[in-house]
Amino acid sequence: MKFILNCQQAEELGKKLNDYSTKLSDTTSELQLLKVDGDFDWAGTINLINSNINITADRMKNAQKYIQLVVDKHTGLQKTFEYPTVVANDTVKKTTPVENPIPVPQDPTIKPSSSENQTDSTKATTINQKTSDTASSSETIVPPSSTTTSTSTTSPGITNASDYTTPDGARHFTIPEGNGERYTYMAWQAITSPSSNQYRLREAAGMNFDDEGFGRIDGRYVIACTTTFGQVGEYVDFKLEDGTILKCIIGDSKGGVNPQYNVSEWGHNNGKNVVEFIVDKNSWYNKKDNPGTPSNHPEWNHRVTEAYVYGNYFTDRRS
């Protein structure tokens, strides 16, 4: 397979797409400044508009990533060709050009989820809609015991399965194959409705970030997930395929099943994104890749296989 790509032109096009994406994202803050008097749910409408704007902006960034990936692979391919070289007796030593196939670009993961800016004023209406039969085939209740959860002293929020004791009364979920393969993130600052549980939790605990910009409450990672796992304020420990335990607290609800936004009972992107980290917008957006990628906690590049849900920050606070 041979092809010649104008890399400079391709990269310029990718840069334009990235610039357009940034400008498009900037319009969301301008829309938030618009005010409407009366009983019309303007805030909810703005959230829906901004959600669609961000989806478009994310897709533009992904297109730029595709272009850059092809450019990088093309450049690498050209370097594998061996051209004729002149030897000492002035004869031409001919070598056969070697070609390496260009891998099909993998789908760059969308960083903020499609509903990240669909702030809690609209999502709060779905927070208590968990039905009794949700994930019934995968949920079990852990019987009480005299043991308590073990907390890692070296890495708050992270422990290993060998050091983990299942909390009393925890609801256990087994996440099916094909789900929980990637992570996304959203800004904690995107939660703006004072009447929501998301906002109430942040006010009670404080909007605190660690050195990496992850939202933290009592050492736990603040995350968003579907109502399959629980409600805002509940503790959830996610187990990865390699045995790593991520100790989290639900800081935002992604609602229930929503085919329009490719949300399954397990998460966004038809369940591939079970865990969405809540982070500092200022230190993450346009600066960091998704968790679990080579530049951002590559050790988390394992499927989320299980979850244990228990306790509640408001009524049963734990470490």
The answer to whether residue 268 sits within a structural domain is yes
12 with 130, same domain?
A: no
* 319 assigned to some structural domain: no
Most confident among 24-33, 262-271, 283-292 (mean pLDDT) = 283-292
**Which pLDDT score is estimated for 258?**
85
**CA contacts within 13 A on the Cβ side of 120:** 26
* Ranges 30-34, 137-141, 192-196: which has the least confidence: 137-141
Helix axes 42-79, 7-32, angle to 10 degrees: 170
Model confidence at 155: pLDDT above 60:
no
Residue 103 lies in a domain: no
pLDDT band at 52 (very low <50, low <70, confident <90, very high): confident
128 shares its domain with 241: yes
Q: Are residues 165 and 281 in the same domain?
A: yes
Location of structure tokens 């060709």:
81
Do residue 129 and residue 252 come from a single domain?
A: yes
Query: Distance between CA atoms of 38 and 57, rounded to whole angstroms?
Result: 31
- Whether 18 and 127 share a structural domain: no
Q: Which domain holds residue 84?
A: 7-93
Least Cα distance to 243 among 293, 305, 165 occurs for 305
Looking at per-residue confidence, does 254 or 22 come out higher?
A: 254
- Cα–Cα distance measured from residue 318 to residue 72, given in angstroms and rounded to the nearest whole number: 48
Both 307 and 237 in one domain: the answer is: yes
When the pLDDT of each residue in the chain is averaged and rounded to a whole number, the result is 75
Would you say residue 31 lies in a domain? yes
DSSP designation for 188: G
Same structural domain for residues 88 and 204?
A: no
**Total domains, the chain:** 2
Residue 147 has pLDDT above 50, yes or no: no
User: Which residues, 6+ apart, have CB-to-CB distance to 161 below 8 Å?
Assistant: 239, 243, 244, 245
In a domain? residue 173? yes
Pair 42, 134 in one domain: no
Of 78-82, 104-108, 129-133, 307-311, the one with minimum mean pLDDT is 129-133
Within-domain flag for 109: no
Q: What is the pLDDT of residue 259?
A: 82
Residues 82 and 144 in one domain: no
Identify the pLDDT of residue 90: 42
pLDDT given for residue 308 in this prediction:
97
Output the CA angle 297-303-305, nearest 5 degrees. 125
Q: What is the pLDDT of residue 76?
A: 62
The residue out of 75, 93, 111 marking a domain boundary is 93
The one-letter amino acid code at 291 reads P
Among candidates 294, 253, 257, which has minimal Cα distance to 109? 294
Average pLDDT value for residue range 103-126: 39
Same domain flag for 85 and 129: no
Q: How confident is the model at residue 104 (pLDDT cuts 50, 70, 90)?
A: very low
Residues 6+ apart with CB under 8 A from 55: 114
Could you give the CA distance from residue 248 to residue 215 in angstroms, rounded to a whole number? 10
Question: What is the spatial distance between Cα 89 and Cα 91, in angstroms, rounded to a whole number?
Answer: 5
Residues 19 and 86 occupy one common structural domain: yes
SS3 13: helix
Residue 19 lies in a domain: yes
Q: Which residues pair with 128 in a beta bridge?
A: none
Q: Does the pLDDT of residue 161 top 60, yes or no?
A: yes
pLDDT score of 89 more than 90: no
CA distances from 295 to 180, 290, 299 (A): 19, 8, 10
Please tell me the least confidently modeled range out of 110-119, 187-196, 257-266, 276-285. 110-119
Question: Which residue shows structure tokens 């959230």?
Answer: 47
Q: Is the pLDDT of residue 129 over 60?
A: no
Does residue 104 lie in a domain region? no
> Are 72 and 138 in a shared domain?
no
Kindly state the helix (H) or strand (E) to which residue 235 belongs, with its residue range: strand 234-240
Structure token pair of residue 279: 């982070």
- Distance in angstroms (rounded) separating the CA atoms of residues 275 and 238: 9
